[in-house]
Structure formats: C-alpha cells, structure tokens
Structure 1
Amino acid sequence: MQRKSLATMTCPVAQSLERVGEWWSMLIMRDALAGITRFDALQKSLGIAPNMLTRRLNGLVEAGLLERRRYQDRPPRYEYVPTACGQDFRPVLLALLDWGSRHFAADGRRAVIRDRITGEIAEPLLIDRRSGRPLTDPAFERVYQNEPGQD
C-alpha cells in the first residue's frame, strides 16, 4: 500500500515526516548518527532487506540528511554520512529515545543518555535558548511566521 505524501502540506511537522517519518528512516538516522555509515554495517545492524535499505538511503540523501561518499572504487562502495541537516536531527532522536524509554521500555530496560565525562544520567528537556525556560511553559505558543498577508 502506497502511503500518502505530505509534501504539499505546509506544516513543519508534516514536512519533517515526509523526510523521516518512515520507521526505517528513523532507525537509519539513529545508526548513522552513532557512526554506522556503511551499507553492509547498516544492513547488519538493522536486519533490513538490501532493496529496502537502498530505497531509504536514497530518500535520506535526496532529503539532504545524508551524504553518499565513495570509500572504495573496486567494487564501488559507499558510506552514508550525516549532513549538517542530519546532525540537526540528533536532538529529535534523543528526545524520542527519552520519551520511548520512559513510556514503553520493555521489562523496565530503559535506555538513558549519559554524560561521558561525569557518568551522570541526563534528563532531557527542550528549552528556549534565549530565556532558558522549558518550551512546555504555557507562555510559549506555536505560531507561523511569514504567512501570506503578514509582514
């Protein structure tokens, strides 16, 4: 079954999901951001069929989240390295990891984010860079800038 395209929707959430909303894409980005960038390594890590992995990698390259780089000529082999846009996706995955771990951890086996230097467990929180306040504060609202008719 073909999924509906969200490309024509103006909502940033829909636009983001158009690029990474398929579960394999999210898992590929998780692995690529963790340093697993070669096709064979991604296939082994994910247990994904080669044709599906090829399609998802091509989509992520086309969306600008990954860059395809040749690392071997004979036979030609490529790695898929996160671009700046792909690197900006890291906090999204970390937030998803934290949320999923808190609410859906199987058998209490939570994944956590730990400070490599201190060993302390991080408590993720999305904040406003300017004020330092959590974005969950009721003072914040979602608005769209530069809508037609706005100056």
Structure 2
Amino acid sequence: MNRDRFATMACSVARTAGLIADPWTLLVLRDLFLGVNRFEQLVRDLGVATNILTERLERLMASGLVEREAYQRNPVRYEYSLTESGTGLYGVVISLLAWGDHHLAVDGVPMRLVHEVCGEEITPVVTCAHCGTVLRPDEVTVLAGPGGRHAPGTAVIAELLTMP
C-alpha cells in the first residue's frame, strides 16, 4: 500500500493514518510507551520479522515520531525512544486499548492502567479540554478549518462543511 498518498490529503485523520495505521506500527508504539525500547526486545515481544520491524522503525524515525541511540558499540545495538511528537500519540494508543478492552477482551482485559497521580485504575476517555465532559459524536459540531479543501479524500466532507 502506498501510504504516502495520505500525506497529501487535507485531512488530519488521513495524514495520521498514513503514518501509524498499520498493526505492526501501532504495536511498536504501544511497546515503546510501555518501555520496551530495544530492537531485540521488540522482536521478542511482538514476534515480528526483523525486516518488518526495521521498516516500521525507519518510517517512525523518518516521520519524527521515534529516535534511536546506540547503547552498545561492538556490535552496534540501538534503543528507541519516542520524540515529543511521538509521545503525543499516547491518547490515540490508549483509546484503541480502551475500545479493544470494551469490545474484544472476552477473557478479560490484558492490561490495567493506573493513574499514578491519584492511584486509581482508569479507563481512557476523550473529553472536552474546556469543560471536561466526555465527547460524544452527536454533541460535537464540525466546522471548516483554514487547511480544509475539496480534494481526493475530502471531496464530500469539504462540500458538507461549506454548506450554509
């Protein structure tokens, strides 16, 4: 699949999906958030072929989401860490976790999240930054933004957003 075509769409969902919407990429991000940061650890944890992992890590580095640093010189071995931009995807990853826990975890949740600030177990939710209310699609209005345009991937949406 040519993921680069999504980068030109006037849609933040499409652009983000072009970078991370691949199961291996999302699992690499999950592991990095959990502290699994060495190539060998990632291979062992994910059971992924080394060429696939290499490609995903290179894409994440080229996108500025991940950086690597050598922790051993002979032979050279690397550990990977999320950049500030990569860390910004935390909400996306734990939202996927919460949805999967709710809809797909028939044997119980695989991981529990505890908020270290208050010590309570949490279920991630998306809330309004202003009032703290949980966001629901029927309570949010979408307006045209300055970067929107009528183009492949947004043709119908652009028409809907410009209607009076």
Identity %: 34
| C-alpha distance after superposition, 1:5-62 (max 9, x if no partner) | 3222121111001110111000000001111111001111101111111001000111
Normalising by structure 1, we get a TM-score of 0.86
2:146 maps to 146
Matched, 1:39 2:39: yes
- Alpha-carbon distance change, 59 to 95 in structure 1, aligned in 2, over 3 angstroms: same
Matched, 1:103 2:78: no
Question: Take 1:28 and 1:104, find their aligned partners in 2: how far apart are those partners?
Answer: 20
Q: Over aligned residues, Cα RMSD in angstroms?
A: 2.2
**Which runs of 5 or more structure 2 residues have no equivalent in the other structure?**
150-164
**Which runs of 5 or more structure 1 residues have no equivalent in the other structure?**
none
2:24 maps to 24
1:91 maps to 91
Q: How many residue pairs end up in the alignment?
A: 148
The structure with the greater share of residues assigned to helix is 2
Q: Which region of structure 1 is more displaced relative to structure 2, 128-137 or 59-68? A: 128-137
- Alpha-carbon distance change, 102 to 110 in structure 1, aligned in 2, over 3 angstroms: farther
2:60 maps to 60
More RCO (CA 8 Å, sep 6+): 2
Normalising by structure 2, we get a TM-score of 0.80
Residue 9 of structure 2 aligns to which amino acid in structure 1? M
| C-alpha distance after superposition, 1:66-107 (max 9, x if no partner) | 011111222111111000011111111111101011001133
1:75 maps to 75
Runs of 4+ that moved beyond 4 A: 116-119
